[in-house]
Amino acid sequence: MAAARSIASLTLGFGLVSIPVKLYSATESASAVRFNMLAKDGSRLKQQYVSEKDQRVVARADMVKGYEFEKDRFVLFSPDELKALEEASSPAIEIMAFIPEKSVDPLYYDKAYLIAPDKRGGKPYALLAEAMRQSGRCALAKWAWKARQVVVQVRPVEDGLVLQQLLYADEVRSLKDLHIEPVAVTQGELQLALQLIDQISQDGYDPTQYVDEEKQRILAAIDAKIAGKQVVASAHAEEPSSAQVIDLMEALRASLGKKAAPAQPVVVAPAAAAKQPKERKGAKRATAPKEAAAAPARARK
């Protein structure tokens, strides 16, 4: 993963205290494997917009944005009108309230950012983080960012503070809307289910135990292609039908009879290449464990 680079310099308002901070993206979307759309002769393709009315190609300079308020009826907005509607971005994140740390349902979590203290912000940053840790509370704040006002959660973690952008209520669906029919369970079924949970329980979530198997499989196929080898599709086992009728008690007892294997990182190693392929551009791939045959080291997008 590339070295962290600050994406914004902000201030975190805590009462009458303004804490200068720097914002960093908490995730790396460039780690996904991306393919380009090409013609069959390998040449790049260019995307164009075509008018449905007369099939002519429309240049970007001739485009306007519109909102469809009825079927095929639009109100048009000029770039200046849309600009006037945008929320002016602000470097200030104003804390509105402190709430219990676990009171925000993760369903409302959107993009996450890391916050680090900027110059002369170390002491108030550390004070706010420690005060929230000891109180068991996190902060709710408003922030105008990228032409939009958002509600954010600022929560303490072991090494500092995380800013979590939150979704608004009308952006999150409720299970109540699905009208799930309540079904009673027996005490025996519940007891077996609790035993199964206890049998395969762990103390916490360790993200390093898991590897994106699909990504590793795709990268192995790319390495094989570069080495001039034919990619052979592997057979995937069919999933059992969800409509299959099973004896719930027997299924629980059978599950309890299986010994839970310790979670290990799963890495799909590519076949040994006939020759070392040349380096190609892109985002870096995570290093595989030593026990597995690693793919040729390259930078990828």
Give residue 301's pLDDT.
43
Summary mean pLDDT of the chain? 81
pLDDT digits (tens, 9 = 90+) for 55-84: 999 998 888 899 999 998 999 998 888 877
Cα separation, 2 vs 284, whole angstroms:
8
Give me the percent of the chain exceeding a pLDDT of 70: 78
pLDDT digits (tens, 9 = 90+) for 123-162: 999 999 999 999 999 999 999 887 788 999 999 998 999 9
Give residue 42's pLDDT.
87
Q: List the domain boundaries for the chain.
A: 8-30+86-169, 210-231+264-301
pLDDT class of 259 with cuts at 50, 70, 90: low
Cα separation, 282 vs 297, whole angstroms:
12
- Over residues 220-235, the mean pLDDT reads 78
Give residue 221's pLDDT.
87
Q: Which of 172-186, 252-266, 282-296 has the highest mean pLDDT?
A: 172-186
- Over residues 208-233, the mean pLDDT reads 83
pTM of structure: 0.67
Q: Which helix (H) or strand (E) holds 223?
A: helix 213-226
The CATH fold assigned to 8-30+86-169 is Ku70; Chain: A; Domain 2 (2.40.290)
Cα separation, 86 vs 67, whole angstroms:
16
Give residue 186's pLDDT.
92
Residue with the larger pLDDT of the pair 292 and 207: 207
- Over residues 37-56, the mean pLDDT reads 90
On the question of pLDDT at 190 being above 90, the answer is: yes
> Rounded to the nearest 10 degrees, what angle do helices 187-199 and 248-257 cross at?
20
Q: Which helix (H) or strand (E) holds 211?
A: none
Between the CA of residue 82 and those of 69, 79, 85, 298, what are the distances in Å? 17, 5, 5, 43
Between the CA of residue 277 and those of 133, 228, 274, what are the distances in Å? 50, 9, 9
Give residue 243's pLDDT.
47
Give residue 291's pLDDT.
42
Cβ within 8 Å of residue 268, ≥6 positions away: 213, 216, 217, 220
Pairing of strands 160-166, 57-58: unpaired
